[in-house]
Structure 1
Amino acid sequence: MGNFHKPSVIMLSYLKGEISMDYGQIIANRILSLCRQRRLSINKLANMSNIKQSTLDNIIHGGSRNPQIKTLHKVAYAFGMTMSEFFDFQEMDDVSFEDDGNDEQEEI
């Protein structure tokens, strides 16, 4: 068996340095923006995506800082988008991923 350790914590910041936002906030803002554009409530999105409203509320209000890809896939599908389209927006393009300085990789 290999040596396992916790993965590095990923910190996000805009390249321009103007705003510091974590990944969860960026995703929450994307969901809220798409809801506004399509005039959807979080409740309606929950029904359309077959996700519990409490799960979406946790994403929106910061209770879930790293939503599961399956959840985001359901959200994207409810918006009529592919995952690529869902993640194709300026704030995501402007993000810089910086780890905590631990460059070691997990052994499998």
Structure 2
Amino acid sequence: MQIDEAVTTRIQQLLTERGWTTNELIKRSGVKQSTISEIMAGRSKFPRISTIKKIAHGFGMTLSEFFNHKMFED
């Protein structure tokens, strides 16, 4: 799995776990709707680490916690 795919999958997983829509994540993270849409649609091949950090914080976790998943091991 490519890193961009893993990031998208991880975001979707966290949204599902919390029962959130992408709009809830947008509100909590402060990341623009267009940016979240690009990531979720797989059009953002290299999302910035600063953006992923904001997304992680929107989920109430650190960047390390976001990436602490088996899909990021390889």
Shorter-chain TM-score: which interval?
over 0.9
Which structure features the higher share of helix residues? 2
* DSSP-derived class of the 2:44 partner: coil
List structure 1 runs of 4+ shifted beyond 4 angstroms: none
TM-score, reference length from structure 2: 0.95
Equivalence for 1:69: 49
Which structure features the higher share of strand residues? 1
Structure showing greater Rg: 1
**Displacement of 1:65 after TM fit?**
0.9
Equivalence for 2:64: 84
Equivalent position amino acid for 2:48 in 1: Q
What residue ranges of structure 1 are gaps of 5+ in the alignment?
1-20, 96-108
TM-score, reference length from structure 1: 0.66
Aligned residues: 74
The two structures, once aligned, show a CA RMSD in angstroms of 0.8
Identify which of structures 1 and 2 has the higher relative contact order when contacts are C-alpha pairs closer than 8 Å and 6+ apart. 1
Equivalent position amino acid for 1:73 in 2: K
What residue ranges of structure 2 are gaps of 5+ in the alignment?
none
